[in-house]
Amino acid sequence: MWINLGRHILWLACWLGLSGASLAQDADWRPVEPENLLLIKTVYGQVAVELNPVFAPNHTKRLQGLAKAHFYDGLSFYRVIDGFVAQGGRNEGDLPDWPVLKNENDRPAKGLNFVPTGSPDLYAPEAGHVGGFAAARNPKTGRAWLMHCVGSMAMARDTDPDTGDVEFYIVIGPGTRYLDRNLTIFGRVIDGMEFIQKLNRGTRAIDNGVIADPARRDPIMSMRLASELPAAERPAYEVMRVDGQAFADYKTAKRVRDAAFFYRRPPEVIEACNVQAPVRRAVGDDGAP
Amino acid sequence: MWINLGRHILWLACWLGLSGASLAQDADWRPVEPENLLLIKTVYGQVAVELNPVFAPNHTKRLQGLAKAHFYDGLSFYRVIDGFVAQGGRNEGDLPDWPVLKNENDRPAKGLNFVPTGSPDLYAPEAGHVGGFAAARNPKTGRAWLMHCVGSMAMARDTDPDTGDVEFYIVIGPGTRYLDRNLTIFGRVIDGMEFIQKLNRGTRAIDNGVIADPARRDPIMSMRLASELPAAERPAYEVMRVDGQAFADYKTAKRVRDAAFFYRRPPEVIEACNVQAPVRRAVGDDGAP
């Protein structure tokens, strides 16, 4: 029991979380389209984001356009608040050559393959997943929207809801659900979130998180679409389908913790943000970048 | 409007969160006792943890003893899973010269100055704060316990709940509340959480997060109690009292988002983990370390 204690600790908790993913069949997965796969190169490593044209078609097009124009290359994460957001993609004061976008904070629920978690949610009438993303739904209004989770990528804006253009933020801490339906989420980090967590922070109390010293601002070395890369350099990801048995099993394992480790059985609750669809590198992907 | 757009974005969201803290009077704050102030030196910077003898008296004593013995110095964060925990404080296979502890997962609610959030909670009948820490309470059983939040520091263990001894973990992501009442939380990070977030990660799917290459394991350079340091080198922190008006105002500002920025008013909900008591450096503290 003592040998390798370190490896045992919380092992069960992890194993339960992963078993669904590792046992899933190929039919349980869908590829991430290369034109929706945004690759952000940081000094710490490469971050992969899946764009979401279903909820945010115009923001997705904007990001595709910005990536193709190499707009972000050399800009920085200049406002980073621990436990909140990493924001970047503009030099302060710059008026970019890209017009403002109408917000895409929510959309009709109709036509979406919305898979409810079956658990209650503190911020929405119904919580679930659409295409791997944590989403919420209001049956009364018939609207659906993406949730602010750790890893959500969204467009920053001014007070007017239709003023987003190029500047983005990535959520790096819990407790941002109050931003739901107020800002437009257009993607989620599916790999390399640990590199976003390594970004240098600013001080919230002094400069509202803006990093005063430009030398401490971590650069966006490049931001590219996988579709723009030579085929040999493209990473390829797959996301678990949320309407299949594999994902149902995954959620059950997260909800029902019946291993001996849990001598006090936790409440059978899951939160959509914390059980987003598992992601894997596709077979044959050499993981070059 | 366009000038300094970057600084404006989400400004209101932040300001609302901070206004309570910055307006609070000195009477609204309590000092962190130097013997309960654990300082963890990492290669990225110093992390400050407040120990909690009210909920975990024996674990607090253990940590004080380990710190005084310089037990952790030179050990590492050897198992780090992004969005989950940073675990360390033991070399694999080592049987330390410190006996196992009985768990202190929960305690009688009686005698605690428990301040409810007033918001519902998904995992407990009642959520609130005790001495700055997020805590839960069950009126039926008369028990109270600390919540697993980002920044919670707890004792790792084997399957038997009374097998913790020296190895700890710090929560670095949301979604760990299911560990409540199963593992013993003995502290919370009150400063330098950004340095914990910078720790190198392992791969959950391959080695259950254990970092195979020892060179990639970030060391615990030292772990000390502030009370052990010469007075001139001691950082001094203050935590907002949770039973006063300042903290009530702080929570209201987080719960009621009525600034123009929120053109769609968010649900009036707060989560205890996301509104733990604000922390500040004490006046006269030169912030030496």
pLDDT at site A96: 77
Question: Is residue A128 one of the residues assigned to a domain?
Answer: yes
Structure tokens at B246: 């300042």
Of A123, A139, A127, which Cα lies nearest the Cα of A182?
A123
Q: For B89, which residue in chain A has the nearest alpha carbon?
A: A6
B101-124 pLDDT, tens digit per residue, is 999 999 999 999 999 999 999 999
Do B167 and A5 count as a contact with CB atoms less than 8 A apart? Answer: yes
Q: Is A179 a domain residue?
A: yes
pLDDT above 90 for A72:
yes
B287 in any annotated domain: no
CB B60 within 8 A of CB B36: yes
Q: Could you give the CA distance from residue B28 to residue B158 in angstroms, rounded to a whole number?
A: 40
Separation in Å, CA of A260 to nearest CA in chain B: 7
Query: How confident is the model over A104-123, as a mean pLDDT?
Result: 98
Distances (CA, A) of B219 to A90, B40, B211: 35, 10, 12
Q: Tokens 């050559």: give the residue.
A: A97
For residue B2, pLDDT beyond 80: no
Least confident of A90-94, A164-168, A221-225, B130-134: A90-94
Q: Which residues of A touch B81 (CB under 8 A)?
A: 14
The pLDDT score that the predictor gives to residue B18 is 44
- Residue A3: the pLDDT is 30
Q: Which of B2, B3, B5 to mutate to test the interface with A (most CBs of A within 10 A)?
A: B5
B286 within some domain = no
Contact yes or no for A79 and B198 at CB 8 A: no
pLDDT value at residue B24: 62
Task: Identify each DSSP E strand in chain A by its residue range.
Answer: 29-31, 37-41, 46-51, 76-80, 85-88, 107-108, 115-116, 126-130, 133-138, 143-146, 152-155, 168-171, 185-191, 218-219, 222-225, 237-240, 279-281
Partners of A16 on chain B (C-beta within 8 Å) are none
* Interchain contact, A10 vs B83, CB within 8 Å: no
Rounded to the nearest angstrom, the minimum Cα separation between A66 and chain B is 18
β-strand partners of A77: A88, A218
Q: Residue B112: which domain range? A: 15-281
Question: How many angstroms away from the CA of B36 is the closest CA of chain A?
Answer: 24
Return the minimum-mean-pLDDT range out of A93-97, A231-235, B147-151: A93-97
Do residues A35 and A248 lie in contact, with contact meaning Cβ atoms separated by under 8 Å?
Answer: no
Q: In terms of Cα–Cα distance, which of A176, A201, A236 is closest to A29?
A: A236
Q: Which of A20-24, A65-69, A176-180, B278-282 has the lowest mean pLDDT?
A: A20-24
Minimum distance, in Å, between the CA of residue A229 and any CA atom of chain B: 26
CA distances from A23 to A16, A279, B151, B203 (A): 12, 13, 32, 18
Q: What is the DSSP letter of A232?
A: G
- Residue B94 or residue A107, greater confidence: A107
Phi, psi of A57, deg, nearest 5? -60, -40
Residue B77 pLDDT > 70, yes or no? Answer: yes
Q: Which range has the worst mean pLDDT, A16-25, A127-136, A190-199?
A: A16-25
pLDDT over threshold 80, residue B94: no
Nearest CA-CA partner of A20 in A209, A285, A265, A279: A279
Question: Residue B23 has which token pair?
Answer: 């307006």
Q: 3-state DSSP helix/strand/coil percent for chain B, to nearest 5?
A: 25, 25, 50
Question: Which among A240, A241, A224, A234 is positioned nearest to A284, based on CA atoms?
Answer: A234
**Chain B residue at shortest CA distance from A260:** B159
Q: Which residues pair with A23 in a beta bridge?
A: none
* B162 lies in some domain: yes
CB-CB under 8 Å, B205 with A266? no
The whole-angstrom distance between A224's CA and the closest CA on chain B is: 22
Q: In what order do the strands lie in the sheet with B29-31?
A: B29-31, B237-240, B279-281
| Cα dihedral across residues A119, A121, A124, A127: positive or negative | negative
Beta-strand pair B133-138/A143-146: unpaired
Token readout for B48 is 């400050």
Is residue B218 over pLDDT 90? Answer: yes
Quote the number of domains for chain A.
Answer: 1
Would the CB atoms of A194 and B173 count as touching at under 8 Å? Answer: no
ipTM of the complex: 0.92
DSSP B234: -
Q: Which residue has the higher pLDDT, A16 or B115?
A: B115
The predicted structure's pLDDT at residue A285: 67
Let me know how long chain B is. Answer: 289
Q: What's the mean pLDDT in B237-262? A: 97
Task: Tell me the average pLDDT of chain A.
Answer: 90
| 8 A C-beta contact, residue A48 and residue A38 | yes
- Quickly state the pLDDT bin for B204 (edges 50, 70, 90): confident
Instruction: State the smallest CA–CA distance between residue B139 and chain A in angstroms.
Output: 16
Mean pLDDT score, B69-87: 97
pLDDT at residue B282 in the model = 87
State how far the Cα of A134 lies from the Cα of A277, in Å rounded to an integer: 8
**Closest chain A residue by Cα to residue B195:** A198
Q: Give burial (CB, 10 Å; 0-12/13-18/19+) of A31.
A: exposed
8 A C-beta contact, residue B56 and residue B104:
yes
The pLDDT confidence band at residue B286, using thresholds 50, 70 and 90, is: low
Chain A residues inside the 8 Å CB shell of B197: 82, 172, 197-198
In the block, which residue shows the tokens 């996988």? A226
Q: What is the CATH number of the domain that holds A224?
A: 2.40.100.10
Phi, psi of B103 (to 5 degrees): -65, 150
Q: What is the pLDDT of residue B95?
A: 75
Cβ contact B242:B129 at 8 Å: yes
Q: Which chain A residue lies closest to B106 (C-alpha atoms)?
A: A264
Nearest-Cα residue of chain A relative to residue B88: A6
Which residues are paired to A108 by β-bridges? A143
| The pLDDT of residue B21 | 46
To the nearest whole number, what is the mean pLDDT of chain B?
A: 90
The b/e string for B104-138 (b: 16+ C-beta within 10 A; e otherwise) is bbbbebeebebbebebebebbebbbbbbbbbbbbe
Which residue type sits at A270? I
The pLDDT confidence band at residue A46, using thresholds 50, 70 and 90, is very high
Span of A131-135, B104-108, B229-233 with lowest mean pLDDT: B229-233
Angle of CA points A24, A112, A223, to nearest 5°: 75
The beta-carbon neighbor of A208 closest among B11, B193, B275 is B11
Please check the confidence at residue B4 and state whether its pLDDT lies above 80: no
Count of CB atoms within 10 A of residue B258's CB?
12
Nearest to A194 among B82, B90, B161 (CB): B82
Q: Which helix (H) or strand (E) holds B213?
A: none
Residues in A closer than 8 angstroms to B161, CB to CB, are 263
Structure confidence at residue B135 (pLDDT): 98
Q: What is the mean pLDDT of residues A97-103?
A: 95
| B29-64 pLDDT, tens digit each | 999 999 999 999 999 999 999 999 999 999 999 999
Say if residue B174's pLDDT is above 70. Answer: yes
- Using pLDDT thresholds of 50, 70 and 90, give the confidence band for residue A1: very low
